[in-house]
Amino acid sequence: MNNKQRAAMFGLLSSICLAFPGSVLATSLSDMAKACDECHGSKGNSTDDKVPSIAGFSESSLVDMMEQYKAGDRPADKYKPSGGEETDMQLIAKDMSDEDISAISAHYAKQTFKPIKQDFDAAAAKRGAEVHDKLCEKCHSEGGANADDDAAILAGQWRGYLERQFVLINSGERETTKKMKKKMKKVKDEDIQPLIEFYISKQ
């Protein structure tokens, strides 16, 4: 192989390498999915309460989230999967092409979301259901379980992840739509935990 050929090969490899956990060289959809599963669990169903399950989300919502991470518009916590390397979603998304994002989003949209079994406060969940029906159901229908809303699935999601997202949204660290901001202003501080209890009760 001459120098010109080596340079061409290096350019090709550089264009397809992605910085995923565990230094996985993602050259195909199956490789990308395997890398994503390191944090998000098998087929996108997470086993860690700090990481959301993404199986069954709509393709549109996943693409939107990834584009926000890629642009640096959505905060991303550092995370180290078992046996992998510490990374975050902004770093991962920035190394993905638009085609990669579209492909991996379509992949997880085809998976089945499995509500997470976890303890919850039934009394608080009942109050949370009332708050949800009044302020959230229009955009997060079926109690936050309908992926066709093109919003994240909230029902059956991890408690730890939901609590973290509410903190980020209320602090202004995580940017949201004007419509969501308006709704969140109507959610009282004492109603946030009941809302979370309601979502995790949907098992």
Q: Tell me how many degrees the CA angle 42-44-50 measures, rounded to the nearest 5.
A: 100
Q: How many angstroms separate the CA atoms of 52 and 179, rounded?
A: 23
Whether the CA torsion 105, 196, 38, 23 is positive or negative: it is: positive
Q: For the range 131-140, what are the long-range contacts, defined as Cβ-Cβ under 8 Å and sequence gap of 24 or more?
A: 131/187, 131/191, 131/194, 131/195, 131/198, 132/195, 132/198, 132/199, 135/183, 135/186, 135/187, 136/183, 136/195, 139/179, 139/180, 139/183
CA atoms within 13 A on the CB side of 159: 13
The overall longest dimension of the chain from CA atoms, in Å, is 72
Annotated binding site for heme c: 36, 39-40, 89, 136, 139-140, 180
Q: How many angstroms separate the CA atoms of 65 and 73, rounded?
A: 9
Annotated binding site: 36, 39-40, 89, 136, 139-140, 180
How many distinct helices (H) and strands (E) make up the chain?
10, 0
